[in-house]
């Protein structure tokens, strides 16, 4: 069965989007469509151009016999700006204010389209970094961690607060919560992380950074390396923040419980990525 170019472009687009950071050989596509490799090359050139123009991502060509093409998500500044602005507007709604100055974010984190956009932005920042695993802590960070991991084509490991029988044997650590200074526990299944892994830590919210710091201690137990730290929202600048090398999409600059106002600005994402 032969495929026309238009059909190939549609199917290849879907295939590449579903297989980010995976090397796909030209022969694979040539066989799939019963087409010459030269036609496939032309198709890929069109896809690359369109992906870049529309801010979808880019294709990298790996030459040689073992070569092929890899899709990387890459979001342009023009594309990222309205996504972060929308996130800021969502966060600034004063109805989010909860007793104690906490913010209700469950609806934002429950919306797959929001989470996927945020995940694409963060993944875009690490597309060229060697990352083997995304790590997060249960529960709220999980959706964002998956959104990032699916764009990076790596598995997710989830640190828990408690042991569960279905995890098998586990490693447990104690850490100090940055804001409340309370001792807390984190548990990770022994089988879930290989020694020497390069790990991107992802979480929904960072205040003083105690939880992230706990994850870093956990990585030390597994002799794994921190390849990056990315959060959706960081609380207003803390003097005693435990973490300084991280990426954030949104920053709470001022939460006023009395006046019921939340001031939200873009996180350090643009400064770090586009300057």
166 touches its own copies (CB under 8 A): yes
Q: Does 263 bind its own copies (CB under 8 A)?
A: no
Q: Is 100 exposed, middle or buried (0-12, 13-18, 19+ CB in 10 A)?
A: exposed
Q: Counting contacts by CB under 8 A, is residue 274 touching its own copies?
A: no
Taking the least distance from each CB to its own copies, the nearer of 56 and 186 is 56
What SS3 state is found at 63? coil
- Which range of residues in 141-149, 209-217, 228-236, 244-252 is near its own copies by CB under 8 A? 141-149
The interaxial angle of helices 37-53 and 5-18, nearest 10 deg, is 60
Tokens read off for 21: 């950071």
H or E segment at 125? Answer: helix 112-125
* DSSP code, position 34: T
Q: How far apart are CA 103 and CA 149, in angstroms?
A: 26
Q: How far apart are CA 273 and CA 120, in angstroms?
A: 14
Q: Binding to its own copies by residue 237, rule CB under 8 A?
A: no
Please choose, out of 79-87, 143-151, 223-231, 241-249, the segment that lies near its own copies by the rule CB under 8 A. 143-151
Within 8 A by CB and 6+ apart from 56, the residues are 17, 50, 73
Asked whether position 110 contacts its own copies by CB under 8 A, the answer is yes
Q: Which residues pair with 110 in a beta bridge?
A: none
The helix (run of H) or strand (run of E) holding residue 31 is helix 26-33
Range in contact with its own copies (rule: CB under 8 A) among 140-148, 171-179, 209-217, 247-255: 140-148
Residue 43 CB, nearest distance to its own copies (Å)? 8
CB of 56 to its own copies, least distance (A): 5
Binding mask 40-69 for its own copies (x = CB under 8 A): ------xx-xxx-xx-x-------------
Between 108 and 266, whose beta carbon lies closer to its own copies? Answer: 108
Tokens read off for 29 = 């596509």
What are 57's strand-pairing partners?
73
Between 89 and 271, CB nearer to its own copies: 89
Q: Of 143 and 178, which CB lies nearer to its own copies in the complex structure?
A: 143
CA pair distance 202, 227, nearest whole angstrom = 11
Q: Which residues bind its own copies (CB under 8 A)?
A: 5-7, 9-11, 13-14, 17-18, 46-47, 49-51, 53-54, 56, 98-100, 102-107, 110-113, 115-116, 138-140, 142-143, 146-147, 149-150, 153-158, 160, 165-168, 189, 191-192
């Amino acid at each position: 069965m032969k495929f026309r170019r238009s059909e190939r472009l549609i199917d290849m687009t879907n295939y590449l989007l579903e297989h980010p950071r995976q090397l796909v050989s030209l022969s694979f596509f040539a066989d799939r469509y019963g087409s010459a490799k030269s036609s496939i090359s032309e198709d890929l050139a069109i896809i690359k151009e369109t992906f870049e123009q529309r801010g979808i991502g880019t294709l990298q060509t790996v030459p040689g016999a073992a070569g092929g093409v890899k899709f990387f998500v890459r979001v342009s500044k023009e594309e990222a700006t309205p996504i972060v602005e929308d996130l800021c507007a969502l966060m600034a709604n004063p109805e989010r204010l909860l007793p104690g100055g906490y913010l209700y974010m469950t609806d934002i984190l429950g919306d797959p389209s929001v989470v996927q956009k945020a995940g694409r932005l963060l993944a875009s920042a690490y597309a060229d970094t060697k990352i083997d695993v995304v790590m997060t802590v249960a529960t709220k960070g999980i959706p964002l961690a998956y959104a990032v991991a699916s764009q990076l084509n790596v598995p997710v490991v989830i640190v828990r607060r408690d042991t569960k029988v279905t995890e098998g044997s586990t490693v447990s650590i104690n850490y100090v919560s940055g804001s409340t200074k309370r001792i807390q526990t984190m548990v990770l299944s022994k089988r879930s992380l290989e020694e020497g892994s390069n790990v991107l830590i992802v979480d929904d919210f960072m205040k003083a950074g105690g939880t992230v710091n706990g994850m870093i201690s956990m990585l030390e137990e597994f002799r794994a390396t921190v390849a990056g730290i990315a959060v959706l929202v960081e609380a207003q600048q803390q003097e005693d923040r435990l973490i300084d090398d991280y990426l954030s999409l949104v920053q709470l600059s001022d939460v006023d419980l009395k006046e019921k106002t939340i001031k939200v600005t873009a996180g350090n994402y643009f400064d770090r990525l586009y300057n």
